[in-house]
Amino acid sequence: MGFLIPFVFLVSLAHLSVSSTIPSTTDVSSSSLSESATNSIKMQYLEFANGDKIPMIGLGTWRAPDEEVEAAINLALEIGYRHFDCAPVYMNEKVIGNVFKKWIDSGKVKRSDLFIVTKLPPFANRAEDAEKVLKKSLADLQLDYLDLYLIHVPFAVPYVEGPFQTHENGSIVQSPTDHIKTWKELERLKTEGLIKHLGVSNFNERQIQRLLDNSDVKPEALQVELHVYFQQKPLVKFCKDNNIIVTAYSPLGSRGINKLLEGSGIEVPDLLENPVVKTVAEKHGKSPAQVLLRYITQMGVTTIPKSTNENRLKANIDIFGFELDGCDMKSLSDQDAGIRLVEFRNFDFFKGIETHPEYPF
């Protein structure tokens, strides 16, 4: 099985965030952002160098199975989500694409109002496989272009259309990868108009620097695990210094990840039960999850909490109506504990991957 089944500070001043009001529910049909919309939620954005904007809250879609994801994407669009994080290895792009198509065809939303992200999977992390896999994502998502395309992980495995290949002892079969060659191919696909912005995910500083040193189109985005127990401050600063927008994945601690770690002996702490988070939440009359997400956005980092539950979808995007003060920020900053939760080597389906020469952690 692959990660197929289960998988699935401050940015520079050039990325000043701006506020806008997203019309929700029925107002979404007007598709334009309206200050006068009633029943509305606020959104903040970061800007790429060319002025394109990425909403600071998006929706994650890992471990959102087909039977839940269709309703969740519909609901999310109604609520006002416009930024969606996808990946072929989450195995739900087709269903998500059906919902995008319905919304765009009906005129309820314009394509240009959406910010759609997907990723080049580890089984195609090579120049020769990139085009077909990108085009498959575009076909599944029923889109002509992606707003952001990320190399999902720095390591690679052989091309498969099903579960990853394993050796007899259960360890994963690896394959070499050359980031520079792959990147050049992505640059070419960008010139064809299939991609607006290019970035990477799960790359370390050295791997990003190598791309910066050897590319015409510089990486503009990095998606990494980031939450109150794993704040990645040096990496975020490095990105800020290089005009790279950071997106935090697993911002709520990837609740439910315990199931994937069964047998590994690793226990995942519950971020929502952290006493400091709870105290700050009580002070502002917000939920612990809202405080965790607000903290990340006040670090100047965009984030993509996953939910398929209506109330949690609503709460997770409704975080720009309050602000954490210096005291809150300091006490939350102090919770940083270096606890990485999405450590690929601990997942059964990536057994032995830490010996890959490009393993990042």
Ligand X SMILES: NC(=O)c1ccc[n+]([C@@H]2O[C@H](COP(=O)([O-])OP(=O)(O)OC[C@H]3O[C@@H](n4cnc5c(N)ncnc54)[C@H](OP(=O)(O)O)[C@@H]3O)[C@@H](O)[C@H]2O)c1
Helix (H) or strand (E) holding 276: helix 275-284
Residues 203 and 291: their CA atoms lie apart, in Å, by 27
| Residues that constitute the known binding site | 152
Sign of CA pseudo-dihedral 218, 182, 190, 299: negative
By the 10 Å C-beta count (0-12 exposed, 13-18 middle, 19+ buried), 102 is classed as: middle
Q: Is 94 left (phi over 0), alpha (psi -120 to 50) or beta?
A: alpha
Bind-site residues for substrate: 152
CB of 206 to ligand X, least distance (A): 18
* Residue 53, helix vs strand vs coil: strand
**Closer of 108 and 284 to ligand X (Cβ):** 284
How many CB atoms are closer than 10 A to CB 294? 25
Q: How far apart are CA 24 and CA 77, in angstroms?
A: 8
Nearer Cβ to ligand X (279/309): 309
Which amino acid, residue 172?
A: I
**Applying CB under 6 A, which of residues 17, 24, 223, 335 lies at the interface with ligand X?**
223
Q: Segment contacting ligand X (CB under 6 A): 48-56, 209-217, 244-252, 353-361?
A: 244-252
56 near ligand X, rule: CB under 6 A: no
User: What does the alpha-carbon distance between residue 19 and residue 114 come to, in Å, rounded to a whole number?
Assistant: 16
Residue nearest to ligand X (CB): 60
User: Distance (Å, rounded) from C-alpha 62 to C-alpha 72?
Assistant: 12
DSSP 355: G
User: Which residues make beta-bridge pairs with 227?
Assistant: 230
By the rule CB under 6 A, 253 interacts with ligand X: yes
> By CB under 6 A, which span of 45-53, 249-257, 276-284, 325-333 interacts with ligand X?
249-257
Identify which of residues 22 and 304 has a Cβ nearer to ligand X in the complex: 304
**Residue 335 found at the interface with ligand X (CB under 6 A):** no
Minimum gap (Å) between residue 32 Cβ and ligand X: 27
Residue 257: CB minimum distance to ligand X, A: 6
Q: Are 123 and 3 in contact (CB under 8 A)?
A: no
- Determine which residue in the list 94, 184, 210, 255 makes contact with ligand X, applying CB under 6 A: 255
Only one of the segments 181-189, 206-214, 253-261, 332-340 lies at the binding site for ligand X (rule: CB under 6 A); that segment is 253-261
Annotated active-site residue 159? The verdict is: no
Could you say which of 17, 55, 57, 62 contacts ligand X (CB under 6 A)?
Answer: 62
Nearest to 306 by CA among 236, 231, 256: 256
Distance between CA atoms of residues 268 and 266, nearest Å: 7
**Rounded Cα distance, 150 and 186, in Å:** 10
To ligand X, the closest distance from the beta carbon of 290 in angstroms equals 7
Which C-beta is closer to ligand X: that of 114 or that of 304? Answer: 304
- Report the alpha-carbon distance of residue 124 to residue 136 in Å, rounded: 12
Q: Within 194-213, which residues bind ligand X (CB under 6 A)? A: 201-202
Q: What is the DSSP string of 221-236?
A: EEEEE-BTTB--HHHH
Beta carbon of residue 144, minimum distance to ligand X (angstroms, whole number): 22
Name the minimum Å distance from CB 335 to ligand X: 15
Q: Does 251 bind ligand X (CB under 6 A)?
A: yes
Of residues 137, 174, 182, 250, which one binds ligand X by CB under 6 A? 250
Per the residue annotation, which of 90, 149, 249, 295 is the catalytic one?
90
Instruction: Establish if 254 lies at the interface with ligand X (CB under 6 A).
Output: yes
Q: Which residues are catalytic?
A: 90
Q: Interface residues with ligand X (CB under 6 A)? A: 60-63, 85, 152, 201-202, 223, 249-256, 272, 289, 304-309, 312, 315-316, 342
